[in-house]
Structure 1
Amino acid sequence: MNWDLSQWTPLIDDRCFLSWLVKVPSEQEQLRARQISAQQINKVEELWKTNPDASLEDLEKPGVDDEPQPVVLKYEDAYQYQNVFAPLIKLEADYDKMMKESQSKDSVTVRWDIGLNKKRVAYFVFPKEDNELRLVPGDELRLRYSGGTSHPAWQSVGHVIKLTAQEEVALELRASQGVPVELNHGFSVDFVWKSTSFDRMQGAMKTFAVDETSVSGYIYHHLLGHEVEHQIIRNTLPRRFGAPGLPELNASQVLAVKSVLQKPVSLIQGPPGTGKTVTSAAIVYHMAKQGQGQVLVCAPSNVAVDQLAEKISSTGLKVVRLCAKSREAVSSPVEHLTLHYQVRHLDNSEKSEMHKLQQLKDEQGELSSSDEKKYKALKRATEREILQSADVICCTCVGAGDPRLSNFRFRQVLIDESTQATEPECLIPLVLGVKQVVLVGDHCQLGPVIMCKKAARAGLAQSLFERLVILGVKPFRLQVQYRMHPCLSEFPSNCFYEGTLQNGVTVNERQSSGIDFPWPVPNRPMFFYVQMGVEEISASGTSYLNRTEAANVEKIVTTFLRSGVVPSQIGVITPYEGQRAYIVNYMSRNGSLRQQLYKEIEVASVDSFQGREKDYIILSCVRSNEHQGIGFLNDPRRLNVALTRARYGIVVLGNPKVLSKQPLWNSLLTHYKGA
């Protein structure tokens, strides 16, 4: 349908229906109407997710509007700690389950393939909804066919092994027999909700409360916020604080490593681009060399764990990366370090018998029950042997609760990106006998993502790192940034880091040779592009988009491409899913260059860009209204993340009239003006 979309206008403007559509109530009627606060509106909207017929009266019902007990800074003991956090995790688990199970899709079209491991793989498009629910590799989905003349009803569970840029999902199925590969249409997809991560958090809190050996006495009191006398760990410090195979450390990184090795509990704050991963790897290297046993290294996300495992492995230490079983088919940049890879490629006699059984299993799809028993026992023994011989074990925080680690004890634990984990999530790796803990993160960037608003309000969104900072533990801050052009680091440094960020890159190192992009001030690659187009509510009704701004994003992207920048160097970020989807669509339809170029440009939310970088960033702010405010953009941490992803240059598109009402944005606009 080649309708001219520019002729279309939204039915809702500034949260009101257009006046010719619905007549404006008279003053008399407005006075008679019920006055309702924004808070009540939000609460009813929350209720609608579980009960679409809920009304304002339902808020009055007992138990509906009860807020859970909020987190505190200090806890009397681990039982009080557990009593506060357990209900919050339950709220989040119930909400997660409800969200995932409501995500069924019908009339899905499937194309079939066979993986290298001879397993069936189904490819299909699973469009993103506007809610924050994101599919990730390792998620379980059920693929169903309700049956027809050509094939009986069929279903199988599988797990996601990859997501393509075209929003296509690759699902590896468990079933090998009876898969309707001759059919392509009429399938349904459901989420299979797993409680594993929530169960492990609850389990860790229980262990913390009942098992005195789960953490050292000093750390027990420290975590509960009790006054403790500062302890120093007496051990011989290395002569050099760097590590083989890693870049030379700068002065603040050396000090960080040195101070961490002498303390039972340390926080390291790594602002954007300050070499957090290198510093963490150096710390782990020196810990492993102290002979206190194996070091456990965790982070909340798989991407962060992989990055760290790779860095630590380059120092020459023996690293094993433990993945969830559901992710073993997901391709990983550190495949050779993973436990499942090492199990398959180990050389010894026990191995050859296991190999034979493995081959048989691959060929036949299953083993006889006695062979299966034997295979499992051999595999377990091999896994244990490999894990025991490692210097360092790397896994996600939730992965530290894997039964394969249940008999291991780790005295030294480092958690990277710890500010993106909830507190009970951080506890999982700690209750395995920790005596020395290092939390690395940055509480000036985004915290953990909590879906359930009630749990977030009660404080589940505050990380352990943050609570310790408030309690007065001083984080050690890395101070030299190697990512941004010096003029791009100036504002974030002054605004979020008390002006302490130094530049480890010069203006010359961030001059893009051969790129002739028309920056307003040639040697300051940043500008604010004033937008006056209005925002509108996206099709889902839960997000926003701004057409004018999207059209201008395309213009800027095209200008970058024409001036010699390649698609992989550009990132488009926006806080709203509605705008993200609209920009992707608009660029592929209206971009004046080859369509493929626009497809290769990553368009994503600010949150999913955390921890990453691009040469050029285009930030689309979207919000532009008379009096609705700026919503999401209000969070200073989101602005910090958005402004610190770019290495060479940044373009911000937004409505200065609306943004400048917020003090932080006001100072950003003033900064751009003065530049």
Structure 2
Amino acid sequence: TEHDAISFARSAQTQDFADLASQLQRARVIVATVPYLNANLHLFSLIAPTTAIVDEAAQLLEPHLLALAIRVERMVMIGDVCQLPAVVEQDDRGCRVQHPLLEAIGLERLDRSLFERLLRLAKRNHWTHAYGRLIEQARMHHLIARFPGTQFYGTIFRSMHRWQDEAPEVLPIETLPLLLRHRLVFVDTPRESASGYNRSEAQIAATCTRALVKACHDCSPSQTIGIVTPFRKQIRTIAELLEDLTEDVTIDTVERFQGSERDHIIVSCAVNSRQHLRRIESPTELDGRTIDRKLNVALTRARHQVILIGNRQLLELSPHYAALIGFIEQHGIVVSAAEAMQALSPFLTSHVNHAHHWH
């Protein structure tokens, strides 16, 4: 309870270890981070948990969980292998494992989580009693959920709330320009010679943001709008164009967005070459299907709308982006950069107007 938590914190501050031990031994549930437990293994001399429940397990490498795993009778791991894994600095060659005994237990790569290894092993051996999958989602409008569901998870998610299925196919915000009332939008932008940023995309992202902020005047922009982009230079370029809104709208990489959500997600790909395209992808094979984890995370941050901005010719070299653009063309709207800026012209600032000539 909240009272117990306050009491525990007070005992910790006063270093009343006898009282701490007493509280730990009385507690039926203890909540802690994995780094904290690994740094305080002496706590296990005071408690003897029988079950450990590990959330976000797909982001934890095997060494992170070994100390906990050997001290419990049962471990329940919850995670999503279709989203971003743990960050590992070793290159691909350093992560490969080539040993028959290790391969037999599914330990094929050092950058895989214990969760993913055991899931793959269970599927390989048909241990269907050992794993399960949630097919309900409580975040996205059903139209947004359909693409990642079929493309990355091989299923059609069931909605947990009525609004997800009953909300109209277009946003019921009459003050928005017609372009931004679609739940799925793709803006095809020209390539630029720059590396790591695309000013045309930045201008469109900033202008879309201004239009959404003005239309959703009763909402908090920090909780409503998120801009996802892969490169730091593009983050800075968009921030410069947003000017006074920079403090109110989160602009960050997909890695930093994992775990959060917004009503409207704007994805600026900033891809000007094939090399850039490879850098924004995160392909992996799972259940005989190749998925793009970064794209999956970016799309599934959105509750009500996804706006994708990028060069169509380059993006369609990726089968996942090609499929997504085709899906948007069927269920949303695809426009050129010039068409987008014309539709958004009432929301242009003088700074943006003079920065680029649209053709």
Kept in 1, the 8 Å contact 2:261–2:301? The answer is: yes
Give yes or no for the alignment of 1:527 onto 2:185. yes
2:193 & 2:141 partners in 1: Cα distance? 32
- 1:255-275 per-residue CA deviation (whole Å, 9 max, x = no partner) reads xxxxxxxxxxxxxxxxxxxxx
2:317 & 2:56 partners in 1: Cα distance? 32
Kept in 2, the 8 Å contact 1:529–1:653? The answer is: yes
- Rate the CA distance shift 1:341–1:644 in 2: closer, same or farther, 3 A: farther
- Rate the CA distance shift 1:443–1:579 in 2: closer, same or farther, 3 A: same
**RMSD in angstroms over aligned alpha carbons?**
2.5
Give yes or no for the alignment of 1:623 onto 2:271. yes
The aligned counterpart of 2:230 is: 575
Indicate the SS of the match to 2:260: coil
1:639 & 1:661 partners in 2: Cα distance? 14
Kept in 2, the 8 Å contact 1:484–1:646? The answer is: yes
Give yes or no for the alignment of 1:439 onto 2:97. no
What's the % identity of the aligned pairs?
Answer: 28
TM superposition shift of 1:655: 0.7
**Higher normalized contact order (CA 8 Å, seq sep 6+, divided by chain length):** 2
Q: Which protein has the larger Cα radius of gyration, Structure 1 or Structure 2?
A: 1
The aligned counterpart of 2:295 is: 639
Q: Partner letter of residue 411 of structure 1?
A: T
The aligned counterpart of 1:663 is: 319
Q: Partner letter of residue 328 of structure 2?
A: Y
Indicate the SS of the match to 1:406: helix
Pairing partner for 2:9 from 318, 337, 340 = 340
2:62 & 2:302 partners in 1: Cα distance? 30
1:404 & 1:507 partners in 2: Cα distance? 50
Q: Partner letter of residue 116 of structure 2?
A: E
Structure 1: tracts of 5 or more residues without a match: 1-312, 321-335, 345-357, 359-375, 538-543, 589-594
Pairing partner for 1:394 from 31, 47, 57 = 31
TM superposition shift of 1:381: 1.7
1:492 & 1:550 partners in 2: Cα distance? 25
2:88 & 2:272 partners in 1: Cα distance? 27
Question: 1:316-395, aligned counterparts within 5 Å?
Answer: 336=6, 339-341=8-10, 343=12, 379-395=16-32
1:319 & 1:513 partners in 2: Cα distance? 45
1:623 & 1:609 partners in 2: Cα distance? 19
Greater shift, 574-583 or 483-492, is seen at 574-583
Q: Partner letter of residue 620 of structure 1?
A: S
Give yes or no for the alignment of 1:467 onto 2:117. yes
Kept in 2, the 8 Å contact 1:610–1:641? The answer is: yes
Pairing partner for 2:159 from 480, 497, 503 = 503
The aligned counterpart of 1:603 is: 251
Give yes or no for the alignment of 1:422 onto 2:61. yes
1:484 & 1:653 partners in 2: Cα distance? 20
The aligned counterpart of 2:216 is: 564
The aligned counterpart of 2:51 is: 412
- Rate the CA distance shift 1:472–1:535 in 2: closer, same or farther, 3 A: farther
Question: 1:62-73, aligned counterparts within 5 Å?
Answer: none
1:455 & 1:428 partners in 2: Cα distance? 24
Q: Partner letter of residue 580 of structure 1?
A: I
Give yes or no for the alignment of 1:452 onto 2:90. yes
Kept in 2, the 8 Å contact 1:546–1:623? The answer is: yes
The normalised TM-score by structure 1 is: 0.41
Kept in 2, the 8 Å contact 1:531–1:654? The answer is: yes
The aligned counterpart of 1:550 is: 202
TM superposition shift of 1:428: 2.7
Pairing partner for 1:489 from 145, 151, 168 = 145
- Rate the CA distance shift 1:533–1:340 in 2: closer, same or farther, 3 A: same
* Structure ranking higher in helix proportion: 2
TM superposition shift of 1:633: 2.3
1:319 & 1:446 partners in 2: Cα distance? 35
Pairing partner for 2:305 from 649, 652, 655 = 649
TM superposition shift of 1:460: 2.7
Kept in 1, the 8 Å contact 2:146–2:156? The answer is: no
Kept in 2, the 8 Å contact 1:319–1:390? The answer is: no
Kept in 1, the 8 Å contact 2:159–2:165? The answer is: no
Query: Paired residues, what number?
Result: 296
2:279 & 2:48 partners in 1: Cα distance? 42
TM superposition shift of 1:504: 2.5
